[in-house]
Amino acid sequence: MDISALHSARDRIQADPRSGQSLLLYALIKTLSIPQGGHAYLLTKLKEMNPDTRQLAYALMELMAQGGATRVEWNEAVAQTDAAIAGK
C-alpha cells in the first residue's frame, strides 16, 4: 500500500499549519481517521482546494478506502499533524 499521499499531506501541514489548504487537508485527515464515523466531510470543501491539494485529497480518500487509516503509519502522521496544528 502506497502511503506517500499521507506523508505529503503531513509535510504540507507541518510546513504551513495555518494556511487554508493545510487546514482543509487536516480536516479531511481527521474525518477519515474516525472509524465507522460515516466520514462526514462536506464535499463542497473540495471546491476550496487548489487543484494540487484536491488531487492529494483524492489520494487520501483512496488510501482510507484501501484500509490505510487503520495502519500505524496513519496514526503516527495524524499525531504529527495534530502537533503542527497545535503549534508544537
Q: Which pLDDT value is given to residue 11?
A: 97
SS3 label, residue 13: helix
The rounded distance, in Å, linking the Cα atoms of 30 and 32 is: 6
Report percent pLDDT > 70 for the chain. Answer: 93
Q: Which pLDDT value is given to residue 16?
A: 96
Q: Are 1 and 68 in contact (CB under 8 A)?
A: yes
Rounded to two decimals, the pTM is 0.86
**Domain parsing of the chain, residue ranges:** 4-85
Confidence label for 39 from pLDDT (cuts 50, 70 and 90): low
The set of residues, in sequence order, having a beta carbon less than 8 Å from that of 3 and lying 6+ positions away, is: 63, 68, 71, 73, 74
The rounded distance, in Å, linking the Cα atoms of 14 and 83 is: 9
State mean pLDDT over 70-85. 95
Q: What is the overall mean pLDDT for the chain?
A: 91
